[in-house]
Structure 1
């Protein structure tokens, strides 16, 4: 299910004139029976609510006092979410002639037209408080406390994300928690300002509108609204005419394919950054350690320690935790079996909690190789984001490719890569632009559309400083190492990683250094061996600048260090001081 919780306002939404009808109670029970959670989000105080509502036990959490108090009906436990007011606040309001005052654990409320006196008292006390209006009520709360913050706290206790929640309300103070939820609904009797911003407006009013929403949730999990929920779309890029192209953050199974150094990691990092900014939870299965310094994610495992499935699941229990599962500590031939053990556990978590919202599989042609067959539960009901990143889509399991709903394709001949994907997946080949693309461009194909469009992809806002042991310290192997041979090919100095490359570069003669620089050998290695297009482009600019050997050596070293975290300065040899004696 996409929507695992319903968050509903009380007065004017669930209740009409303070009372909830029996048919609305029956609808709430039906929703509970469907396996979903119920959260009430109200400006009322706890004791006041209990005087008019007798079915609090139906709700998994009550968010009261406009987000300042959280109550668990099952345990009767209260959690105060904000600082209580000073006692003088109420006393000074009475002294100014304000007679209709109610005070809860945190909230102090009165009615219009007493907002003038409220503001004067706040100013006289010198305290930080906000005033919230709600259909004539004047509520005083700590700054930053509202229904959205209270709902977030309640969902966190339930292990749920706001992106798996539907919210319904009717008044001014409901704007925040409707906007914070994946789907915001206004009952037909709601204020026009709320209806204008809601994703859905019910045809019925008050509790009958809630019943209408509940029936739709049970019927199709609001699938009919998917096309309307554009506010959550993840930006991929813009077409030549400036039109934005976005992907639905829910339900898309994405393929990112292209040759080495074509920009797959840049596009992926940008998407991850936007997922994090929107509060979606993601998990990356990272066979080669390429995402070990990704901002906003916890890395489990490294070259010396294999990750454990149980620790991955433990981190994912918190909806705000994103995870990178680094497989460098697992022998190459055992990585697919580790992934096979992880995937059904992720699917089980998604069934119960709706998370992680996106699972990204790097080097998918290895982990989901052509002979790979999914377990019985691995792809059952697979509707949430599974992103496959690969150089070789034709080498990925057909069972996985068949479920791809969108493809981003890059490289020198993206049309050929797209053709290879379609052939392997058994999908009809769409008409696609042929030939090479400009830097930063990609083909985007949404499988339910006939068109393949060229988009200029949106880069990440922050540069990712790469730290991968295989590039900085590891052994890339003979085929991907750099060899300093010199113009006469008398040398054979092997650099199997960036640290050794910089060490050797410091010691070789000027002629050898400049020979490889001017031939473009360094840029080619960075592009093909290190798979870093940005570093390759920077090195090409350095070569074109016609710097001296020492100047260009320093510039290349600076370009590498700006992008990679190396073991230490000592490893590159440039800790030497000018006043040290020559050896």
Structure 2
């Protein structure tokens, strides 16, 4: 992910006793010359900052009063909060307390915290107290450094996901949490250092100057030791979520046709969009159209409004997440469109920092051949590649992959392609012989994370795919007809002997139940065989629970039409299909 802006606190971070460190001033100039914006985010009143720092044109903007006041490069000032209540000013003056008043902030020594709380309660004021070492600020509860920074960066056309935030004290928590990469200084707050992604070693502001020079020399955001934005892969009640960080990492999602690979890739994209990242998805088959219900996301194509050339460039400027639905095009047209526009999107990201992630489904059709890697920006990464034929991807493309997620994959040749990715890596000694069986037998809502993904420590890690916010009727309808692996079909039996009916899909299960005798159904119901088969093969525990309740209701011999009809209705309701 590209570095576009450095947002730094002032006092204690780049200034000592109000004086800006000369080394920092020089470093800011160097960073801006390299194309990296620098903004100051401070608790100081703007007029005070100008008094101690001089003319502020050495930065690209200022957030003052802990987020309440935003000063833009053109001189315009925006006030995001309300003025301090006169009743509060009067009470503080009457008590003889020394304080300062800004456009929104009331600042005083932290020793008066009890008095401030008393007056806020007495006057019923919607104010919050923020501490900054030995000082204290009273501000509208909605105001913070992150609020002001988002306002400033929005006007500058920059995303907080392309920002590094640097701070030293209690009031900088919101700043470093807001930025994609949060940094604390070694001489600052202990708690802030604990939650920061990086700590600048040293003894004062000059060390920050060195850090700014170093990171601004690289187009990418610096790596961090602790990631505070993660994606949830599995979420089971009573257990800690299984999460993964994918910032600046290339992700490969592989799996058989109709195994749920696009659903899994959509889950990752959905969570990123909800976290405020922008995503561009090249969607050859129309699998991602439901993402249009998410904030700031549009779907274009499928026969109308597919942007080309300059139109796509104009769309990129808007900072939206976009799904490019190519399902209406012939294969050669899809290939031509992607070859022309995938690099265009990557070039815009190099210039502006977004979209933060680029997804390419059915990527084996478009990245094949020795020149396939040329369509990707290998320096900025941030790609999600989806395929059912990883064996067709060139070796130089697979070498770019950092995270491998797999839905059911039965073909040995395709599993071999994933195993070969470990060659000449730190995971080359991993025993992956059991991958064939494990990947071939993944349930319909299961997936696995594989090495070289760091989070799995050299092991295959199975998980039940977390639920999505957006529905996907096409995807769920496919599940109605997906066969389970050979040898795992449901076999209807009586007294342990097969009666002739078997089912490899949920549709076949409904149909076979309607042809099976009441005594056979009652025997299976008593042992909850059908619900256990659904849970173990499809990993759809909600459907399995509904079927289990139906089995309990029909443990005795009853009219077969009743059970079969109810079973079909439960499955249809779950998968939004029409039973035939």
TM-score class, shorter-chain normalisation, is: 0.7 to 0.9
Q: Answer yes or no: is the 8 Å Cα contact 2:196–2:226 preserved in 1.
A: no
Displacement after TM superposition at 1:132 (Å): 1.0
Q: Matched residues in 1 for 2:349 and 2:276: separation? A: 16
1:252 is the counterpart of 2:264: no
Q: Select the residue among 289, 308, 311 that pairs with 2:286.
A: 289
Question: In structure 2, do the counterparts of structure 1 residues 142 and 317 end up closer, same or farther at CA, with 3 Å as the change threshold?
Answer: farther
Distance, in Å, in 1 between the alignment partners of 2:240 and 2:114 is: 48
Q: Does the 8 A contact of 2:476 with 2:575 survive in 1?
A: no
Give me the whole-angstrom Cα distance separating, in 1, the residues matched to 2:136 and 2:175: 19
How far 1:43 moved relative to its partner? 0.8
2:407·2:447 contact (CA, 8 Å) conserved in 1? yes
Quote the residue 1:53 is aligned against. Answer: 53
Is the CA contact (8 Å cut-off) linking 1:162 and 1:181 kept in structure 2? yes
SS at match of 1:163: helix
Aligned equivalent of 2:68: 68
Mapped partners of 1:174, 1:124: distance in 2: 29
Q: Report if aligned partners of 2:367, 2:373 keep a CA contact under 8 Å in 1.
A: no
Which whole-Å deviations, capped at 9, do the CAs of 1:86-126 have from their partners, x for residues lacking one?
Answer: 3333223223332x232222212222333333223322332
| Alignment RMSD | 4.3
Cα deviation, residue 16, structure 1: 0.8
Residue 556 of structure 1 is matched in structure 2 by 568
CA shift, 1:322, in A, is: 2.8
Partner SS state of residue 109, structure 1: strand
Shift, 1:416, TM fit: 4.2
Displacement of 1:160: 2.2
How far the C-alpha of 1:2 sits from its partner, in A, is 3.0
The change in CA–CA distance for 1:106 and 1:427 in structure 2 (over 3 A counts) is same
Cα distance, 1:560 vs structure 2: 3.8
> Residue in 2 aligned with 1:8?
8
Report if the CA contact (8 A) 1:398-1:425 is conserved: no
What SS does the corresponding residue of 1:10 show, helix, strand or coil?
Answer: coil
Matched, 1:17 2:17: yes
- Return the match for 1:229 from 204, 226, 230: 226
Q: Distance in 2 between matches of 1:573 and 1:236?
A: 31
State the alpha-carbon separation in 1 of the partners of residues 560 and 389 from structure 2.
41
Shift of 1:383: 3.0
CA distance 1:450–1:210, shift in 2 (3 Å): closer
TM-aligned CA deviation for residue 385 of structure 1: 1.6
- Given that 2:232 and 2:241 are in contact with CA atoms closer than 8 Å, whether structure 1 keeps it comes out as yes
Residue of structure 1 in register with 2:175 after alignment:
177
Residues 170 and 191, structure 1, Cα contact 8 Å, conserved in 2:
yes
Quote the residue 1:521 is aligned against: none
SS state at 1:56 partner: coil
What aligned pairs does 1:438-449 form with structure 2 within 5 A after superposition? 438-439=442-443, 440-446=446-452
Find the partner of 2:197 among 181, 189, 199: 199
Q: Deviations over 1:456-513 (max 9, x none)?
A: 22522446422449969xxxxxxxxxxxxxxxxxxxxxxxxxxxx9xxxxxxxx9999
Which residue of structure 1 lines up, in the alignment, with residue 534 of structure 2? Answer: none
Q: Distance in 1 between matches of 2:23 and 2:207?
A: 11
Instruction: Report if aligned partners of 1:70, 1:154 keep a CA contact under 8 Å in 2.
Output: yes
Note if contact 2:24-2:208 (Cα within 8 Å) is conserved in structure 1.
Answer: yes
Q: How many residues align?
A: 518
Residues 331 and 387 of structure 1: CA distance in aligned 2, closer, same or farther (over 3 Å): same
Instruction: Give the Cα–Cα distance (whole angstroms) in 2 for the partners of residues 340 and 539 of structure 1.
Output: 47
Measure how far apart 1:5 and its partner are.
1.2
Scaled by the length of structure 1, what TM-score is found?
Answer: 0.76
1:342 aligns with 2:335: no
Which segments of 5 or more consecutive residues in structure 2 lack a partner in the other structure? 479-506, 519-537
Shift of 1:514: 3.5
The TM-score normalised by the length of structure 2 is: 0.76
Given the superposition, is the C-alpha separation of residues 180 and 447 from structure 1 closer, same or farther in structure 2, using an over 3 Å criterion? Answer: closer
- 1:547 deviates by 7.6
